[in-house]
Structures are given as C-alpha cells and as structure tokens.
Amino acid sequence: MSGISAIYILDNKGRVLISRLYKSNVSGSIIDTFNSKLIEFSDETSYRPIFLDSDNVAYLHLQVNNLIFLLVSGENCNVPLMFSFLYKLTEVMTEYFKELEEESVRDNFVVIYELLDEMLDNGYPQTTEFQILKEFIKTESHELDFSWRKKKNEELQVSVPSAISNAVSWRSEGLKYKKNEIFLDVVEKVNMIVSRNGTVIKSEVHGALVAKSFLGGMPECKLGLNDKAFFEAEGKNKGEKAVDFSDAKFHQCVRLTSFEKDRIISFIPPDGEFELISYRLDMTFKPLFMVDVVVELRSFTKMEFHVKASSFFKAKCIATDVQIFIPVPCDVFSPSFKLPNGIVNYIPEKDAMVWNISEFAGQNTMVMEANFSLPSIKSPERDNFLKVPIRIEFEIPYYTVSGLQVRYLKITDKSGYQGYPWVRYITKHGDYQIRMTLN
C-alpha cells in the first residue's frame, strides 16, 4: 500500500501555504494539475473530492472554510485512511488554533510543520491524538537551553510523553481533579420524511454517547445499556424495550472483546470530551411532530395559510427551541400573523416563514394563521413552493426515540476515590421533512 506522497494546505485561490513532500514518486506540477482539475469540477454536479491524473497519482482534498487540504498519493492508496487522516488533521489544528482560517495557518506555520512531522512518518499516519500531541508541541514560545553543551560526557535525557510509552495511548498518567466526575450525553438525531398523505416514507435515528471526563488517575469505567443481545442472552427482554446495537461504532478506548462476550462496555476514558459510541437505527416510529397546512386564495391578491402543529411524544416531555419552516410563494408580500403561541418571521430570501416556539409540550396542538398579499400579475413560479417540504428543528430533553437507557455507569480506580457519573438524554432534529399539499 502506498502512503501519502505529499501534503499541501492551499488558500481558496489554490496558492500553497504549507507543503511537505514525503516521497519522490510525484511530479513538480502537482499543484498546477490539481488547480486545473478543481476548476473543471467546480460545478456541484461534477464535484469530486478524489481523482486520478494520467500517471495514476491520486488527489484527495478537503475544503475547510477558506482553506483546501490536499493529499497526493501514488498507486494503490488507502482512500478511507487518507480521508480519515485529513479529518483528524483539521480536528487537531482546530484544537490548537480554535479558528481554522488562512490567517491562523500563516501565523502558526512553525507549529503546523511540527504537527506534520509528528503525525506522519514517511507518509504514514502515526500519532494523531490531540491529548498526546499537546504534551510536546506547544503553541507558546520557549527559550532554548544550551546548558547541555557544558556537559560533554553526560547523557542527554529525552522526555517522552507518558501516553506514547503507555499502552493507553489516548490518556496521560497523573491526572488529578478535586471532584472526579464523568458526564454522559445520549444524543439522538431523528431523520424523517412524511409524505403528502401523512405516510412515513423514511424514519431513522443517528445516535451518539458523548462523554466528558474529569476523572483522575487511570479509571476503569463499565457501562451497561439495555442492549437487545444482552437481554436475549439473559432472558430479560420480556416487556422491556431493548436496542439492537448491530450498527455501532466505538471509540478506540472501548474493549471490544468485553462487549462482544459480555455485552459490557468497558473502557479507560480519554481526558475531556470524546464520542464513546455512535450508532444508527433503522426503525419505524410515529412522527414526533406533524404540521398540517391549509392554503386558501381569499381573492386574486390575497393568500391565507392555516397551520396546525401537533406533537406526539410523551406528554411529560417538553420540546424546546422549536422552529417550523413553512415555504411560501416567491411573490408574496405584506405578511400578517395571528397566533396564541410563539413568534413568526417572514424570510423573503428563503421564500419561507418560520414559526418559533420556545416550548412545545408533548401531546399538544398549536395553531397559527398567516395572511399575505399577492401582486396582480401572477408569477409563473408561484406554485413551486408546494414542491418544497416543511422542515422542523427541535430539541427534546430527557427523551430518546429508540428507548436507549443507561442501566449503570461504574467507575473504579486503584486509588479508591469515588467517581460521580451523570447521564442526560436529548433528542434533536436531523433531516425532518413534511411534504406540503394545497387544500
């Protein structure tokens, strides 16, 4: 397998800001070839994040803000590995510089070259964890110490970060906190498409267990979930909702053998925030929200919208920051609204009105009426708004669509301190669409 032959960071005009050559199997016209291809693929329909030139050299690029990250590799390159490294590089640089922009690259080129030297060895990814890199690549300047020159016969001592020499490469030793805590957020994003007649076309859940660790020492954590395979093996799934984790991705700190054997998620957590598990569930469930819109032409120059929004999740739960985006014709003007709850804003540049509701309780219904004026001459594109779906954005604390539950989270450390776990559940919108009809 061919590794990375060269890496470039370009500005949005294709000019090189940073470059590092690892192998000699690429020509000197790399940037010219890339820029010409980038112009060729500038149209959204023909855009390609990867392409080959006439010499079978692969170009893989990623655009972040006003920067282009480009990897060049010879034949038989591992594309998933290359893109994984690109995303990891941008993640590490964002941790260092906070804002990943052209200016931050120009101001920190010395640090970037140090990062590339540590993260790549002869074109192959090595250390990519920020928690490790930050131990020996500092953004602040340091005075050089030449005192070693006076000690001709003394052996130089090189300090190696403990995380590299340790088997637990994602965590440093010697961490201490006054109060040892770990926070675990179960976050589920709902993707749903509802047809014009109210039939659910698509329903899926993308979930993640996001942890934020403030634990000292080298703690061992054990997490138990209402996993379907565990319940079936123990015969405990009678009347109790379980979740099938057949499509899940785990952080490298998770001991996969323990999960496969005992269905227990055992791990030594990294310090700070990390994604412990991500999962995807194709499941059939009722819509959390439904929006019915009745559109009436009151006259040739007047249009009226009657909107009814209903929630179908548990009555004890309350959705917050609900935004309902309702498309309107491109030629309407002079809006007026009547509603008992929330605020409606007309956004002409998006041909939509947005109904903002700060709190929406479950098993509840709210109504809104909107009136618009129309020009005397009908626009040929007026009815195109019916092809645009209604979109909904929301958050529902203390609720999950899948029914996932954390049964326990135990923390043990050889020092014997008491760790405090905190668990929170949140359901958010993903791509939530409802098709419109003209009644």
**Residue 155 has what pLDDT?**
44
Quick one: 426 and 383 in the same domain?
no
Claim to verify: residue 340 and residue 391 sit in the same structural domain: yes
Question: Both 281 and 314 in a single domain?
Answer: no
Q: What is the mean pLDDT of residues 27-34?
A: 82
Is 2's pLDDT higher than 60?
yes
Q: Are residues 189 and 126 in the same domain?
A: no
Position 347 scores a pLDDT of: 96
The C-alpha angle with vertex 267 and arms to 265 and 271, in degrees rounded to 5, equals: 135
Q: Looking at 91-199, which runs of residues are DSSP E strands?
A: 120-121, 124-125, 181-194
Which residues, listed in sequence order, are joined to residue 396 by a DSSP beta bridge?
427
Q: What is the spatial distance between Cα 269 and Cα 253, in angstroms, rounded to a whole number?
A: 6
| Residue 437 and residue 196 in contact, taking contact as beta carbons nearer than 8 Å | yes
The answer as to whether 165 is a domain residue is: no
Whether residues 324 and 232 fall in one domain: no
CA–CA distances in Å: residue 246 to residues 260, 323, 436: 11, 33, 35
Range of the domain at 78: 4-136
**275 & 205 share domain:** yes
* Same domain membership, residue 280 and residue 405: yes
Biggest alpha carbon–alpha carbon distance for the chain:
98
Angle between helix axes 109-119 and 79-97 (nearest 10 degrees) is: 140
At 244, the pLDDT band (50, 70, 90 cuts) reads confident
Residue 130 inside a domain? The answer is yes
CATH code for the domain in which residue 230 is found: 2.60.40.1170
Domain of 16: which CATH number?
3.30.450.60
- Rounded CA separation 176/215 (Å): 7
Q: Which of 79, 114, 136 is the last residue of a domain?
A: 136
Residues 205 and 308 occupy one common structural domain = no
27-36, 48-57, 294-303 — which one is most confidently predicted on average? Answer: 294-303
Contacts of 167 by beta carbon, 8 Å cutoff, 6+ apart: none
Residue 142 covered by a domain: no
DSSP string across 361-420: ESS-EEEEEEEEE--SSPPTTGGGGGGSPEEEEEEEET--SS---EEEEEEE-TT-PPPE
Q: What is the pLDDT of residues 103-131, one digit of tens each?
A: 888 888 888 998 898 888 888 888 888 87
Among residues of the chain, what percentage have pLDDT more than 70?
87
Q: What is the pLDDT of residues 245-278, one digit of tens each?
A: 778 889 989 998 888 888 889 999 999 999 999 9
The CA distance from 210 to 106, in Å, is 33
Instruction: Give, in degrees to the nearest 5, the angle at Cα 354 between 352 and 359.
Output: 165
pLDDT of res. 217: 94
Average pLDDT for 317-340: 96
Burial of 315 (0-12, 13-18, 19+ CB in 10 A): exposed
Give all strands (DSSP E) within 57-199, no chain letters: 58-64, 67-73, 120-121, 124-125, 181-194
Does 172 fall in a domain?
Answer: no
Give the total number of structural domains in the chain.
3
Tokens of 163: 């995380």
Residues 281, 354: one domain?
no
Measure the CA–CA gap between 322 and 360, rounded to whole angstroms: 7
Residue 8 shares a structural domain with residue 70: yes
Percentage of the chain with pLDDT > 90? 50
Residues 110 and 10 in one domain: yes
Q: Please indicate, yes or no, whether residues 385 and 420 belong to a single structural domain of this protein.
A: no
